[in-house]
Structure formats: structure tokens, C-alpha cells
Structure 1
Amino acid sequence: MLKLQPVFFVVGIIIVVIGCIMLIPALVDLYFDHSDWVIFSRAAVTAIGLGGATCLACRGELGSRITARQGYILTAFSWIAISGVGALPLWFSSLELSFTDAVFETVSGLTTTGSTILSGLDNMAPGLLIWRSLLQWVGGIGIIVTALALLPMMRVGGMQLFQMESSDRSEKLSPRVRDMCFQIVLIYSLLTLLCGFLYRAFGMSWFDAINHSMTTLATGGYSTSDLSFAKFDESLPLHWIGTVFMCAGALPFTAYAVVARKRSVIPVLKNRQIQLFFIVVGVFAALLTFRLLQTHEFGLIRSFTLASFNIVSVITTTGYASGDYQLWGPGAVMLFFFATFIGGCAGSTAGGFKMFRLYVLFAGLREHFMRLRSPNIVSVSHIDDKEITSDIYMAVSVYVFLLAVSFILVSGALALTGLDLITATSAAATALANVGPGLGPIVGPAGNFQTLPDAAKWVLDVAMILGRLEFQTLLVFLLPSFWRD
């Protein structure tokens, strides 16, 4: 029989952790003398009580190790539980949001998508703005990392959970999962602090710098203003800081640990997916700069800055916007639509297709055309001195198929809720790729998801989680054999 008690025990601990994090915005509101500190305190007590009760009810049924099947269920249940509990402060707040809107904003934050239903951010309670940023910061590194740090102490294994939640299959950084998680979280935290200090040094207030540093490294895109990064339109240095740290969040965090351990950047510079990432970013930025020089009178430096910032924001699935790029012409809109699907590197906070898969596809196409020319040739492709096996090709092919099918189904479901074709297709793409802004007047960079029907928001909730977990972790539940002993 499938035992769910260990699953609920770990979910309970994760809920307790989320409840403790809610105390941070409560303290912020208390510091600024805003009444919402009471809301966050009540939500924190509710979460800690609910999570604690779940742990106590299931503590006697822990096994020696969590199974792979329990791991899949734990991953799914964790995201569902966190999305529901994380929505409590927004639901209880003075914003008077419906539960649907509160869950949408929470899921968008945790999956680092960045789509929002909120407006009036410039005058919003500071605690709520901090909470949105914290959701993205925690979701960026993966809430499962928090669980992995605790699982070894609870006599349950957890490496398979990290593999389910992340596409990174690289070599372990240390023999212990807890040490690996500590290294990743430490690097993530230090980069966030550095980003915040640079934002402050070049003109942001401390409050804006703290919020934007968390959402930049998380490649999430939540801002403290309805204008997003256009609030800082006059500061080109802030745009370049954002560009650099969005790229930093889109690189594999294992690469940073390698640099720290070997004290050399050479192994990282030889990483194929990192090389491909910067090639793709460079090509798209150059094309968009050329387009802006044709259609606008920004000048070369400003055009290159705006092009680099906005294209990096979309490719890394961050979702910041320093302007309405739909006004830059159809050529620019087409570039942004294609960039929506690309994504960062495997093992990063970014979503999307990922550079690792893109490299494997290019390698597979190269082998295919070489065999067409010479049918008897023996060709073996490699990535970073490792052979690209048939299993890897199969995994990438399955992902492409699932992405295509999911895009069609989500677009169709959104169209059935009454959305027009551009809104439905771009919203589906931005949700599955965890980007944030889409195309069109409703969900575009100058739009807002508030006006969408509730049914469309629930469809997008599922799509965002599907994209964050890269489809297979959730779709495996559709197999009848999964539920059979």
C-alpha cells in the first residue's frame, strides 16, 4: 500500500517554514506602522499551527527512506500546499482579493513567473510588497531545497526530489545532500546581497533595492511599481545591474560552486550551455538594437541598453519591462515571442526550454544530417566531455512533445474561457515558460491579468506549476501504473 503519512509529515514541515517566513513582512509592516502586520501574524500562526498539527498527526509513520513514488506525490503536494497557505496573507489583507486572485498571485510568485493581478503597487503596504518578493526569492531557489536540508535529519532520503524539482542532472557538489543545498543557498544569498547593494549604490531606495534584488536573482520580475523597471527609466546603470544579475540567476548555480572550489573561471567558461546562453542573448540583443535604431531615436547606447535589458528579461523568464516593447514594431514583437520559450541554463532559477536541451537538439540535428550525407558514419556528440546518450535524446524529445501538447491544450482551454487568440496563446506560452508578461493589451508588458476570467486564472495556475516542474513530475500521475502496487 502507498503510505502518505511520510509525505504529509514533510509537507507539514514545509508549511511551518512558510509560516515562519510570514513573520518577516509582519515585522516590516510593524516597522512602518501599517496595520497589515496583524494580517501576516494571523496567517503565520495559522500556517504554523496547520503545519505543526500535520507533523504531529503523521510523525509515527516515518519510514527509513522516502520512495520515488512518494517523492513525486510529495513534490506535487508541496506546491499545492504552499500555494494555498502562501495565499492567506493576500486573501486576508486590505486588498480585498478573491481567493482565486490570491492563489494566482502566489503561484505566479512561487513559480517565478511574475504575472500579476495587482495594481497600485506604488502605494501598497510594504509588507505585501516584501511578501511578493519573498515568494519569488524562495521559489527561485526551489522550496524543495529547504526540505532537502531537513530530510536527512528525518531519516528520509531526498536527492530524487531535487532531481524532480530541477532539471539539473550535474555531478553532486558534495557527498551529502545537505552540504550541497547549503552551498547553493549560500551562493544564492550572497549574490542577492551584492545585487541589492549595487541597486542602492546607483540610486534605488533601500526598500526598492531589497525587493528588486530578490526578484532579480530569482528571475521572477515582481516589482514595487506598476511601471515595473520603467520606474527607473532614466538610470541606465540600474538597467545594466539588472541585466547582469538576471544573467547570473539564469546560469547553473553548480557552476558558481565549481568556481569557488577550484578558484578558476576557466571550467565555467568552457561549459557548453553557458556559452550557448551568451551567444543566444548576444544575437537577440544585437537584432533588437538594430530594430530600435531603425524605428526610434534613442541613440546607440540607450538602444543597446534597452534591448539587452528587455531581451535578457524575457530569455531568463524574469519578466521585468522597462517599456511597452509591443510599440517597437512587429519585428521586435516576433523576437520577444520566440525568446519567451528559450529560458536559461539547467540548474538555474530561470524557467523556459533551457539551454541544455537546446544544445542537445542542435547536436541531434547535426548527427541526423551527417547520417543523411554518410549513412555508415559513426558519430558521437558530447557536452562538456560527456557523451550525449540515447536516453538524453529521448528525454529531450519527450519534453518537446509535452511542451507542444501542453501549449495547445492550455491555449485551447483559455480560448474556451472567452479570451481572444493572441491573449490565449501568449498567456499559455508565458505561463508554461514562467516568463510573466505576454502579448496584447490584456496580458502584455503594459497590461494586467486582473481582468481575466476566474476559470482562465485557474488554468494558468496549473500551467505555471506544470512549467516550473517541467511537466513529467505532474503528468506521471495520469499513468494508471503509477497508482498500482
Structure 2
Amino acid sequence: MMPARARSVGVKSTVAPGLKPVLYLVGLVLLTAAAMMVFPMLVDIYYRNPDWQAFASAAMLAAVIGGLLVRYGRKSLKVGLTLRQAFLLTPLSWFSVAAVGALPFYFSEYGIVSRSIVDSVFESVSGITTTGSTVLSGLDGAPPGMLLWRALLQWMGGIGIIGTAIAILPALGIGGMQLFRTESSDRSEKAMPRVRQIAASIVLVYLGLTVLAAIVYWAAGMRLFDAVAHALTSIATGGYSTSDSSFGNWEENGIQWFATLFMLSGAIPFVLYVRLIAGEGRALWDQQVRTLVAFLAVVILALGLWLTLSGQYDPEPAFRHAAFNVVSVVTTTGYATADYGLWGNFAIGLFFGLTFIGGCTGSTSGGIKIFRFEVMALMLKAHFMRLLYPRGVFRSYYGERPVGDEVIGSVVAFFAVFFLCYAVFTIALMALGLDFLTSASGAVTALANVGPGLGEIIGPAGNFGTLPDAAKWLLSLAMLLGRLELFTVLILFVPRFWRG
């Protein structure tokens, strides 16, 4: 008999034969990606840019591959997925979209990524994982279709990770996510109507926030195209911009303050928005949200005072830059209004630490996530209490939910594997000849899906284009590992997984 966790993923108690259900779903994902390529193709046609042919070719190829997979696996998904199928589907679908997402970059006539496999893949992976690291420069003069495609990749990745975090990861029990297991992560026939309702509501909220952000940016002074592109990447907490200066290119009419709020909105669990619309007036004041807002307030206050007292800015720009860039890094968006690497050692150390944090689970943010730090704090508190009172019994609660040993063990395991991977990637990048700051910040910004690193090369004022190709491949792998919560990918390298 399979454990309860496995049964919650599907209704079958044994592994379904073959890969047909997985390949069928991957095919649907690829067909969706092909359909999304039509939008940048039409934009390039409108602007009479020859790059529309790159999107037409890429869309046709993605549609053919997706169509073949759907035809091969049709009628195979009659019941829920099994545990192993869910583990396999998650990385395979993300890897597939990253691969086809690179095709427009590769086929493009735009010189920086054209005909470069590693640059095309890096840009696509960074987009779909909502990391925001880029190999491109000269964005202000880049083809409009390519700029829109970068934004759409991040927008798709944002809604994709919300669905993964709500429906897949809790059922798999990865990194303590079982704490958030609800009927939305149960794909049995009984729960499916409710799951579809929740999913539809989240998509509408996601789309609504994106439209709202576009309208606000446009009204505040952005061109319509820039407003749409930044709206797509703000709510997705992705960070791709249409300008090399990122949001430093727009300071008028409070645009940076609005962007700060939209980045924060993307870092809040989207299920809470659904509950708010359903009539729960205090739904957004969830424990994760309270902790995130309190943490951000303290850090912004400290950095704003530092920038003011050190004479680098007057009070208003000091707190505006502090709020924007702190929220951008903590929510793993990756926008910037200035090169905060020039703000002094205090700022460099602060932003390096903030890169690890992340937003709330069930949001579009990456990083370790706020709730895992809260669970670790609960564990440490209980440990100290046991030292003081060896015979005492201390139970930990997260909000109103009891935190069992299984959740604590999963969170501890996640921390251990995260920092082990971080050490491995840092050392590997240094072995390729990169300096320590570039290697250390590059590794964590990839694993945490933040975007810019620190230092002259990959800092907020630089990009990843000059890195060795081997470093770009390593960082692409790190971005996918981090976006998929590590274990979803690493378990595929366990021999027993394939013998099941």
C-alpha cells in the first residue's frame, strides 16, 4: 500500500504504466507556449520588424511537438497522476517550455542571442523561472517582439509556479509544503470541481492585477508598450525590463512607488486574493503576509536611514530607493532603480543576505520563502524550551495549524540541500575563474530566482553576457533547481525512482 501522501496525488495506488499521461500534459503546455508566441509575432509585424519570422518558425515547431505529444498521450489521463508521474511531470514541463522558449531568441536576427544556443537557453530559462538575469544589453533599442516575449515568458512562469505550489508541491511534501495541503492539491475526482474553481479564480486575479498594473504604469507616464511589458513582469515578480536602466529610467509621477506595491502584490499567496473576493475581509492579513510586511518595514527603515545619514540621498529619494530595491530583492523580482552595489559595504552585505529570503508560498516569488524561516524559528524556540524544561511537552503551531515533525523535518532538509547546492554552485563558478563575489552572488541569485547579483560584472548595472558559457549552463541549471524547490529535480537522479 502506498503512503497517504502518494494517494493524495492521484486515485491509483500503483504507478501507471508508461509516460503517456505525463507526455500528454507536457504537450498541452507546449501548445500553450506556441499560442503565446503569436502575440510577439503580431507585435513585430505591426512594427514591421523581420523578427516576426523567428516567432512564426518557433511557434510552428513548438505546436508540432506539442501536438504530437498530445496525440500520443490522448485518452491516457483518465484518473489522477501517481506520485512518480507528478514528480516527473513537474521538471519535464518546465524544462520543455524553457527549451521551446529559447527558439525565438535563437532564430532571431537580434545579434546578441541570435545563433547562440547557450545565450538563448539562458535567457529563456531566466524568463520562465522568473529569475530576471539577462545576457542582453541595448534593451532600449531591442526588437519589440523580443522584449514582449521575455515579459510573456516571465508571466507564464509566474502563473505556472502558483499552480505548482498550490496543486503539486503540497501533495509531494517538498520542503514543508505539506503544511499548505488543501483540497486544491487533491486531484481526485471528488475534489476536481473545487480545484478547477480555485484555479480559474486565481487566473482571473492574476490577469486582473496585470491589467491594473499596466493601466497604472501607463497613466503614470510609461509608453503603452513599456507599461504592458512591465506589468507582465511586475506581477510575476520576474524583473525583465525594456530598458538597460530598469526602473531607473522612470522616476516621474510615483511610478517607482507603484511598482513597489505591485511587486509586493505578486509576493502574496494568490489564494488569499480569492478568499478576499469571496468575502473574507481579513484574508490578506495571513501570518506569512504579516511576517513579510513587518520584515520589509524594518529593513527599509534601516536602509533608508543609512542612505540619508550617509549623505547619499535626500530623505524622499533615500526611502524610495530603499523601498523599491529591498522589495525587489526580497520578492525576487530583480528590478533596480540604482546600482546599490555603490552604496557601501553595509548595503552590499544587506542585499546579499536579502537574496536568500523570498516571498510567501503560493505567490510568484522564489527564494527560500518566509514560511520556512518561520518554521525554523518555531523549531528553535521549542528546542530552547526543551533545554530549559527537559520533561515538558511543547507543540508548535503555524497560525492555527499544528506543525508536526514531518513538516519540520522537510524544512530542515530543504535548508540543508539548498545551502549544499549553493556551496557546490559557488565553488564550481569560482573554478571557472570568476571572483568570489560574482560566484557567491551569482549562485544564490540563480537558486533563489532573484535576477541581478553583486559586483561589477553581474550587479544591477551589469548583466550575465560576459560570463563563460560553462557558467551560463551552470546558472541555468541552478535557476531551474531553485524554481522547482530542488527536490522535484534531484529525486530524478535517485535510481530507485526509476525502479518503482
How many Å apart are 1:278 and its aligned residue? 0.6
Measure, in 2, the Cα distance between the counterparts of 1:163 and 1:122: 43
Give the aligned partner of residue 6 of structure 1: 21
CA distance in 1, matches of 2:19, 2:142: 40
CA contact under 8 A between 2:273 and 2:283: conserved in structure 1? no
Aligned: 1:48 with 2:66: no
How much has 1:199 moved relative to structure 2? 0.8
Question: How far does the alpha carbon of each residue in 1:17-38 deviate from its partner, in whole angstroms, 9 at most, with x for none?
Answer: 1001100101111111211112
Decide which of 273, 276, 289 is 1:256's aligned counterpart: 273
Is the Cα contact below 8 Å between 1:71 and 1:161 reproduced in 2? no
Q: In the aligned structure 1, how far is the partner of 2:46 from the partner of 2:90?
A: 36
Equivalent residue for 1:124, pick from 103, 119, 142: 142
Distance 1:160 1:342 in 2: 22
Q: Which of 340, 343, 351 does residue 358 from structure 2 map onto?
A: 343
| Paired AA for residue 110 in structure 1 | I
Question: Number of matched residues?
Answer: 472
Match of 1:411 among 406, 426, 430: 426
* 2:369 match: 354
Amino acid at match of 2:84: R
Give 1:205's aligned residue.
223
For residue 198 of structure 2, what is the aligned residue in structure 1?
Answer: 180
CA distance in structure 2 between the aligned counterparts of 1:122 and 1:50, rounded to whole angstroms: 34
Say yes or no: does 1:110 pair with 2:121: no
Residue 408 of structure 2 is aligned to residue 393 of structure 1: yes
With over 3 angstroms needed to count, the CA separation of the structure-2 counterparts of 1:242 and 1:386, relative to structure 1, is same
What secondary structure is seen at the aligned counterpart in 2 of 1:176? helix
Deviation of the 1:65 alpha carbon: 3.4
Distance 1:363 1:355 in 2: 13
Quick one: distance in 2 between partners of 1:78 and 1:414? Answer: 27
User: Matches of 1:346 and 1:121 in 2, distance apart?
Assistant: 32
For residue 337 of structure 2, give the secondary structure of its aligned residue in structure 1: coil
Specify which of 264, 268, 275 is matched with residue 284 of structure 2: 268
Shift of residue 60 of structure 1? 6.1
Q: Deviations over 1:128-168 (max 9, x none)?
A: 000000000010111684x99xxxxxxxxx94467569958
**Which residue among 415, 420, 430 is the counterpart of 2:445?**
430
* Matched residue, 2:322: 307
Whole-angstrom distance in 2 between the partners of 1:253 and 1:143: 11
1:139 to 148, 157, 160: 157
**2:481 corresponds to which letter in structure 1?**
L
TM-score (norm 1): 0.93
SS at match of 2:475: helix
Q: CA separation in 1, counterparts of 2:196 and 2:289?
A: 26
Give 1:77's aligned amino acid.
L
Q: Indicate the SS of the match to 1:26.
A: helix
- Contact 1:317 1:352 (8 Å CA) reproduced: yes
- SS of the aligned residue for 2:465 comes to helix
Question: How much does 1:263 deviate?
Answer: 4.4
Root-mean-square deviation (CA, aligned residues, Å) is: 2.0
Question: Which residue number corresponds to residue 439 of structure 1?
Answer: 454
- TM superposition shift of 1:108: 0.2
User: 1:344 touches 1:354 (CA, 8 Å); kept in 2?
Assistant: yes
Q: Distance in 2 between matches of 1:290 and 1:365?
A: 31
Once the two structures are overlaid, the 10-residue window that deviates more, 3-12 or 223-232, is 3-12
| TM-score where L is the length of structure 2 | 0.91
Q: Distance in 2 between matches of 1:364 and 1:10?
A: 39
Q: Give 5+ residue unaligned stretches, structure 2.
A: 1-15, 185-190
Question: Which residue pairs with 2:497 in the alignment?
Answer: 482
CA contact (8 A) 1:116 1:450 kept: yes
Task: Show the counterpart of 2:469.
Answer: 454
Q: 2:39: which partner in 1?
A: 24
Give distance in 2, aligned partners of 1:334 and 1:62.
Answer: 50
Counterpart of 2:74, as a letter, is: R
Residue in 2 that maps onto 1:155:
none
- Unaligned ranges ≥5, structure 1: 149-157
Following the alignment from structure 1 to structure 2, what is the Cα–Cα distance between the partners of residues 229 and 111? Answer: 21
Find the aligned partners of 2:167 and 2:247 in 1 and give their Cα distance.
Answer: 37
8 Å CA contact 2:162–2:362 kept in 1: the answer is no
CA distance in 2, matches of 1:465, 1:69: 19
Distance 2:300 2:277 in 1: 30
Amino acid at match of 1:468: R
Deviation at 1:58, TM superposition (A): 3.2
Q: Which amino acid aligns with 1:401?
A: A
Amino acid at match of 2:221: G
What do residues 195-221 of structure 1 show as CA deviations (whole Å, max 9, x unaligned)?
A: 111111111111111000110000000
- Which segment drifts farther, 380-389 or 301-310? 380-389
Aligned residue among 314, 319, 328 for 2:334: 319
Shift of residue 176, structure 1, vs aligned partner: 2.6
Q: Is the 8 A contact 2:171 2:181 kept in 1?
A: no
Identical columns (%): 44
Amino acid at match of 1:100: V
Letter in 2 for 1:464: M
Distance 1:140 1:267 in 2: 21
Per the alignment, in what secondary structure is the counterpart of residue 440 of structure 1? Answer: coil
Aligned-residue offset at 1:352: 0.5
Among 159, 163, 182, the residue aligned to 1:171:
182
Q: Is contact 1:371-1:377 (8 Å) kept?
A: yes
Which region of structure 1 is more displaced relative to structure 2, 472-481 or 340-349?
Answer: 472-481
- Measured in 2, the distance between the counterparts of 1:417 and 1:176 equals 50
Deviation at 1:261, TM superposition (A): 0.8
CA separation of 1:457 and 1:297: change in aligned 2, threshold 3 A: closer
Provide the rounded CA distance (Å) in 2 between the counterparts of 1:335 and 1:404: 18
1:276–1:115 CA distance, 2 compared to 1 (3 A): same
Counterpart amino acid of 2:439? Answer: A
Q: Does 1:242 align with 2:253?
A: no
Distance 1:352 1:144, change over 3 A: closer
Q: Is the 8 A contact 2:110 2:143 kept in 1?
A: no
Q: Distance in 2 between matches of 1:383 and 1:161?
A: 18
67-76 or 54-63: bigger deviation? 54-63
**Quick one: structure 1 residues 279 and 159, their matched pair in 2 at CA, closer, same or farther if it must change by over 3 Å?**
closer
**SS class of match (2:74):** helix
Matched letter for residue 344 of structure 2: G
Instruction: State the alpha-carbon separation in 2 of the partners of residues 64 and 185 from structure 1.
Output: 24
